[in-house]
Structure 1
Amino acid sequence: MTNEIDAAEGQLDIGRYIGKQVRKYRRVRSMTQQVLADRIGVDRTMISRCETGERPIDSRDVLYRLAGALSVSVGDLTGHADDKANPATAAFGAAVPNIEGALMAAGITDGSRDPRPLADLVADAQRAPKILMQCDYATLGAMLPDLITDLYRHATGGGDDAEAAWQALIPVTFSAGLSTKLLGYTSLAWIAAQACERAGNVADDPVGQAGAQYLLAQTLLTQPGAAAASLAQSAGAADRLQSSLTTDAGLQMYGMLHLHAGLTAAAMGTDPSEHLAEAIETATRTSEHGDAFQLNFGTQNANIWAMSIAVEQRDGGKAIEAARLITPDAIPTEDRRARYFVDLGRAYALERKYPESLSALLRAEYTAPQHVRAMPQVRELVGAMLRKARRDVMTGELGRLADRVGAA
């Protein structure tokens, strides 16, 4: 019998936040707050504060442990089902079934139309990562299904175009995988990552192979209990492929694999410094603005990841120090610039500097509205700040941002 009723059941309940979902699934499982706290190794008062929205769940480690203890997916807690109706990403969400079908069918169609000329498809394939890094999910979602299908038809048709088509499938499936991962469609991201791996292997392209491993590791990190597998995927791929990643783009992907390994190590509570140092050293041997999937690996990007790692370790001061090494206006893509401002906002919140946090989050939203308005960690942080604020703030910048990101 559940004999522990939430201490603050009648308190202000504003908007969507992860703790509300935790409370719902805890009750479904007939679990007390104390039992849940014991299962994930925290104090009961932390569970109580999370469930009432007083404390945001802003740690990947805590989020994944909660999902595991409650036997639900991360998406069940972050509200992915509701995010499908988010106006910021609704156009992409509408395209998801067609993207999934195109990847599964791999070019097998009813033949009612001829595929577009390969030259046109290759041009769009080269554009896809750029559109992704611009965070223009609506445009990307609209183009991916037919682009995937037509490239597969050229690749599997047995003609002279096959080799070029397989090569073009690498950036397209990479873009499909990373976009669906970012927006919470993790099963589809895994399918796209495997398609990228296949294309990289058929084309015998080490950069494509490394990109696929990066995608697989990124997708694994979204799953409860899979952090160790994610670390093994990225670090293992870096070691295995290092000798073949000798071009500038190859070095960039080698560095990205180590950046991901560093972030994963931080999420696991272990030391990320070796992976971060390897990435930073690699950055000195590459151009700042490379062409490996438009990820723009380089010294500045490594510093942005250093911010993310410090935030993952809940060290706001360290993240703010790393931010001082970065010139935000010089960050070349909207994706990375938005990530910089989001992590800066999270770092200021960890230091309880809420006006500075709000300012950084507003700049992130201005940079990439589709991307930032769909980020659960932004919604969680904004909602927590809103619940701490006075009622009159509801009509100010914080209240308007909360409405746009779905926190109120």
Structure 2
Amino acid sequence: MSDFQPDDDRYVGRQVRTIRARRGISQQVLADRAGLSRGAVAKYENGERPIDSRRTLLVLASALGVTIGDLTGHPEQEKLDPVAAGFHAAVPDIETALWTHGDLTENRRPRTLNALTTAAREANRLRADCDYATLGPLLAPMLVDGYRWVREKPSDEQAWDVFGNVAYGVASALKARGYPALAWTAAAEAQRAAQHTGSPAAAAGSAFYRSQILLTRPDALPAALREAEDTADRLAADVRTVGDVEVTGMLRLQASLVTAALGGDPEPHLAEAAEQAGRLAEAAPSTSLARNESFRPPNITLWRMSAAMERREPGQVLALAPTLSPEHLPNQNRRAQYFVEVGRAHAMQRNHRDSLYALLRAEHAAPQHVRNMVHVRELVGHMMRTARRELTTGDLGRLAQRVGVVPT
């Protein structure tokens, strides 16, 4: 049974206090288990300090013996957002398609491979722009069509390539919407497709999302790092095409973020990613649908900002921010992430007004994504408790309602 209980004035520290009390342990015991000071635990629990880093969230969840979802309420709270209802309503059909490998009783003829390729590209665009409400209902029919094609043409490399791209996109969307177990199943299907095509990009894409899912689990960070590092190293000799460079490069960026979450130095992985981006101009054209066109120098700078934020280095984030124009980032997801990192950095320096402005710009870029982010909810809730009244009764108060930290 989950320890999550709904709460009108919800913040992660309050849930930490509730679960700690149920476990019958003191703040000092929790602090010792988590490697924190008792004073820090007290401030988290009282709402005096936001839990604004992945590393802190992970160590507290591990020390309490719960999942991150038990502390944050995700995905339960996000499912209450009417804007997200379209995606969540589609999940049972996605689940059935994955469980049955598309072997359903419906009589609809599958679309052609070319039509499915076009649909997969459109789904990738919707996912990159965080339009999950539109994306959700498209996913199960695409999966069913993909499964039918690989059953009917088990030796057809194009069929497996298209199916793998669909499964990769499904894994990404499910992970983003709070369904990690189902996302893992979809990532495994993408990996199965990659084994049929032999595409390094497809294999890297599946490993990327397995590592991202592991990154959300207490005590699984070493496994998340191995998944990213080992796969990138194993595939390095076979990288030839633009897609191979892009997706294996994203594995290097993922390794940098996990390393930072573990308290290590992410720079070697970031430097490898930058070196790999330099190979794009000479790489052969892609023959596979497996791509990640966001892997370009601007996105590497953004991941550098995220790694600095994981290491609680707000000054480094704010020093990097002016070197990167959000317009140079490839999609709404990445632009929103830029403003979220700037907002988090300003909040860490107690500059609430600039933090609010950055978070509002992030929300404008990708509302469905940003309103669902744990860090955003935690920061907005903290600012509602501590910021000046003129902020809490204006834009901040309205943002707090939209992200669900206070009742509407």
Which TM-score applies when normalising by structure 1? 0.92
Are 2:235 and 1:241 aligned? Answer: yes
CA shift at 1:196, angstroms?
0.7
SS of aligned partner of 1:107: coil
**Shift in CA distance, 44/170, structure 1 to aligned 2, threshold 3 Å:** same
Instruction: Answer whether contact 1:91 1:141 (CA < 8 A) is retained.
Output: yes
2:381 equivalent to 1:369:
no
Separation in structure 1 between the aligned mates of residue 103 and residue 305 of structure 2, nearest angstrom? 44
Letter aligned with residue 57 of structure 1? I
Instruction: Using the TM superposition, give the Cα deviation of residue 332 of structure 1 relative to its aligned residue in structure 2, in angstroms.
Output: 2.2
Aligned to 1:212: 206
Among candidates 137, 140, 143, match of residue 135 of structure 2: 140
Asked whether the equivalents of residues 122 and 165 of structure 1 are also in contact (C-alpha less than 8 Å), the reply is no
Q: Does 1:305 align with 2:303?
A: yes
**Aligned twin of 2:345:** 347
Determine whether 1:150 maps to 2:139.
no
- 1:56-67 to structure 2, matched below 5 A, reads 56-67=50-61
- Structure 1 residues 64-79: aligned runs within 5 Å: 64-79=58-73
Contact kept in structure 2, 1:54 and 1:384, CA below 8 Å: yes
Q: Show CA shifts across 1:378-405 (max 9, x none).
A: 0001111111023443320111111111
Given the alignment, which residue of 272, 275, 281 partners 2:266?
272
Structure 2, unaligned stretches of length 5 or more?
1-6
1:5 — aligned with what?
none
**Aligned partners of 2:314, 2:390: CA distance in 1, in Å?**
28
SS at match of 1:100: helix
Residue 55 of structure 1 aligns to a residue whose secondary structure is coil
* In structure 2, distance between residues paired with 1:265 and 1:106: 35
Counterpart in 2 of 1:33? 27
Q: Secondary structure at the match of 1:342?
A: helix
Secondary structure of the equivalent of 2:166? helix
Structure 1 residues 222-242: Cα deviation after superposition (integer angstroms, max 9, x where no partner): 111111101111011110001
Cα distance in 1 for residues equivalent to 2:264 and 2:181: 27
SS in 2 for 1:324: helix
- What SS does the aligned partner of 1:270 have? coil
Q: Does 1:24 align with 2:24?
A: no
Please, which moves more after superposition, 163-172 or 301-310?
163-172
2:44 maps to 1:46: no
Aligned-partner Cα distance in 1 for 2:246–2:292: 10
SS of 2:9 mapped into structure 1: coil
Are 1:105 and 2:135 counterparts?
no
Q: Is this contact kept in 2: 1:74–1:223, CA < 8 A?
A: yes
Structure 1 residues 49 and 286: alpha-carbon distance in aligned structure 2, compared to 1, 3 A threshold: same
**Secondary structure of the corresponding residue to residue 82 of structure 2:** coil
Shift of 1:145: 0.5
Pick from 382, 385, 388 the counterpart of residue 384 of structure 1: 382
Letter of the 2:48 partner, please give it: E
C-alpha offsets along residues 299-350 of structure 1, whole Å, 9 cap, x if unaligned? Answer: 1000000000000000000011111210112222001000111011111112
Check the 8 A contact 1:15/1:406 in 2, yes or no.
no
C-alpha contact 2:87 2:135 (8 A) present in aligned 1: yes
What is the CA–CA distance in structure 2 between the aligned matches of 1:198 and 1:322, rounded to whole Å?
Answer: 39
Residues 346 and 292 of structure 1: CA distance in aligned 2, closer, same or farther (over 3 Å): farther
**Structure 2 Cα separation of the partners of residues 31 and 91 of structure 1:** 41
**Deviates further, 304-313 or 382-391:** 382-391
* 1:78-89 matched pairs, under 5 angstroms: 78-80=72-74, 81-89=76-84
> Which 5+ residue runs of structure 1 have no aligned equivalent?
1-12
**CA contact under 8 A between 1:73 and 1:223: conserved in structure 2?**
yes
Of 246, 249, 252 in structure 2, the residue corresponding to residue 255 of structure 1 is 249
Cα RMSD, aligned residues only: 1.8
Aligned counterparts of 2:91 and 2:32: Cα–Cα separation in 1: 38
The 2-side partners of 1:319 and 1:311 are apart by 7
- Structure 1 residue 139: Cα displacement: 1.4
Q: Which residue is equivalent to 1:90?
A: 85
Range moving further from structure 2, 358-367 or 384-393: 384-393
Task: Verify the 8 A CA contact 1:88 1:369 in the aligned structure 2.
Answer: no
* Equivalent position amino acid for 1:347 in 2: A
Contact 2:243 2:292 in 1 (8 A): no
Greater CA deviation, 228-237 or 384-393?
Answer: 384-393
Which residue does the alignment assign to 2:3?
Answer: none
Structure 1 counterpart of 2:4: none
> Does the CA-based 8 Å contact 2:384-2:396 persist in structure 1?
yes
Provide the residue aligned with 1:283 in structure 2: 277
CA distance in 1, matches of 2:195, 2:30: 44
- In structure 1, the residue matched to 2:399 is 401
- Deviation of 1:120 after TM superposition, in Å, equals 1.8
Percent of residue pairs identical: 46
Q: How far apart, in 2, do the equivalents of 1:66 and 1:335 lie?
A: 28
Q: Is the 8 A contact 2:50 2:379 kept in 1?
A: yes
